[in-house]
Amino acid sequence: MISRGLPVNSETSGDAPRRWLISRFMRSRKGNVAIEFSLLALPFSLLLFAILESCISFAGQQLLANATDSVARQLRTGQIKAADVTKASLKALICNDLEIIVTAGCPGLEVDLREFATFADAAKVRIKLTTDKDIDTTGFAVTPGPSMSKNMLRVFYRWPVMTDFLRKSMSNLKGGTTLHFATVTWQNEPFDD
């Protein structure tokens, strides 16, 4: 009797075909790449999305810091007069620089611009969160000071975490967002009010 690949043995038992199939499976290298790829595809994808999410978030934070510095410089030098600054105009100035990477209109943007008597008073201001994990905006105002006054501009943005599986670990505010913020404290230069 001719067998198809089975070893010819007069003492073939019921275990021999199983052992033969297992050894054949272990020797075969035809599906290695597919199996290895399927085992590595998920961790690789998770790592790739985590890197992309983090990079985009850091880029958004840097844009926010640059926009805040730019507006603070214009206020410090008197290019923007204190009388012309409103909450809407201040948000628009900052949002113009951010719209390259965030949604139009910058939803989630909060601003706080105040004059302080001393730098020590400005240093006492802290970021507060509400009980439902959102930014506490009570006390926020837009009241820049005149020439030679000490001012502090704080800008907050609720950055949305885009990747679902990273939302729980990256977000620190309600709604799956993370807090990006920038602060600049300065003394205005002497200019005509």
Give the 3-state secondary structure of 65-104. HHHHHHHHHHHHHCCCCHHHCCHHHHHHHHHHHHCCCCCC
What's the average model confidence in pLDDT over 152-172?
A: 84
> What is the pLDDT, as a whole number, of residue 59?
92
Average pLDDT over residues 155-166: 85
Output DSSP code: residue 129: B
Cβ contacts of 1 within 8 Å, gap of 6 or more: none
In a domain, 90, yes or no: yes
Answer whether 0.85 is exceeded by the pTM.
Answer: no
In-domain check, residue 16: no
Element spanning 108, H or E: none
Q: Report pLDDT for 69.
A: 96
Query: Higher-confidence residue: 125 or 163?
Result: 125
pLDDT of the residue at 8:
53
Structural tokens at position 89: 């105009």
Take residue 56 and report the two structure tokens written for it.
Answer: 């985009």
Answer yes or no: is pLDDT of 7 > 80. no
Averaged pLDDT of the chain: 86
pLDDT score of 147 more than 80: yes
Q: Closest Cα partner for 152 from 187, 193, 109, 108?
A: 187
What number is the average pLDDT over the span 78-95?
A: 92
Would 192 be classed as within a structural domain? no
pLDDT(42) > 90: no
Greatest mean pLDDT range, 23-27, 97-101, 109-113, 170-174: 109-113
Residue 131 located in a structural domain: yes
Cβ-count burial 130-152 (b if 16+ within 10 Å, e if not)? eeeeebeeeeeebebbeeeebbb
Mean of pLDDT values over 40-62? 90
Whether residue 3 lies inside any domain: the answer is: no
- Whether the CA torsion 160, 161, 167, 169 is positive or negative: it is negative
With respect to residue 27, please indicate whether it lies within any of the assigned structural domains.
no
**Number of domains, the chain:** 1
Domain annotation covers residue 11: no
Provide the pLDDT confidence category of residue 121 given band limits of 50, 70 and 90: very high
Average pLDDT for 167-186 = 87
Task: State which residues form the domain around 125.
Answer: 32-187
pLDDT higher than threshold 70 for residue 9: no
Q: Is 69 within the bounds of a domain?
A: yes
| Dist. CA 146–CA 40, nearest whole Å | 61
Predicted local confidence at residue 11, as pLDDT: 53
- Which residues lie closer than 8 Å to 63 by C-beta, 6 or more apart? 97, 98, 100, 101
